[in-house]
Amino acid sequence: MHVQIQRIDPTLPLPSYQTKGAVGFDVITRETTMIEPGQIALVPGNVIVKVPDGYALLLVPRSSLPRKKGLICPHSLGVIDQDYHGEKDELMVQVQNISEATVTVERGERIAQGLFVKIEQAAWEEVTSHNATSRGGFGSTGGHS
């Protein structure tokens, strides 16, 4: 898949896949950002990506982010639409500091991953009933043995 990408700061490297089997590319931070305890901040990811037709780009935190940095992504993941690629549409990683100390994210650090996912838009067909029996939800199929 060929994807158009624009760097804000061309002195930083393009995002890359760290291993041959990696499904996500690492997002590299463009500037050093200080995040106070409890604060939610946006960390600039240095690139504008034109997501190909038929795909969405998901931004997810690296698995080591809470343990190593004391940061989480309060929205779990970011969804980048196919039409989010204007001149000011830099990828941003939203993080929250869950530690009791100020956290510094250094310029050039890898804190998130991007994953391209095939998608389709739904063509709704409204019905008055699905003619199915309700099964419940939120743990309704059982608990621990």
- Structural domain tally of the chain? 1
- Report yes or no: 45 and 112 within 8 Å, Cβ to Cβ: yes
Alpha-carbon 39 to chain mean position: 18
CA angle, 19 then 52 then 41, to 5°: 70
Range of the domain at 92: 4-15+24-118
pLDDT tens-digit series, residues 60-100: 999 999 999 999 999 889 999 999 999 999 999 999 999 99
Distance CA 109, CA 54 (A): 30
Residue 123 lies in a domain: no
The per-residue DSSP string of 37-83 comes to: TT-EEEEE-SEEEEPPTTEEEEEEE-TTIIIIISEE-TTS-EEE-TT
Residue 104 lies in a domain: yes
pLDDT tens-digit series, residues 95-143: 999 999 999 999 999 999 999 999 999 999 999 999 888 777 777 666 6
Residue 107 lies in a domain: yes
Residue 35 lies in a domain: yes
Residue 142 lies in a domain: no
Question: What's the predicted TM-score (pTM) here?
Answer: 0.86
Distance CA 110, CA 117 (A): 21
Residue 127 lies in a domain: no
Taking 90 as the threshold, does the pLDDT of residue 36 lie above it?
yes
At 86, which CATH number? 2.70.40.10
Distance CA 104, CA 102 (A): 7
A 10 A CB-CB count for 28 gives 23
Determine the average pLDDT of the residues in 47-66: 96
Q: What is the pLDDT of residue 133?
A: 83
Q: What is the pLDDT of residue 135?
A: 73
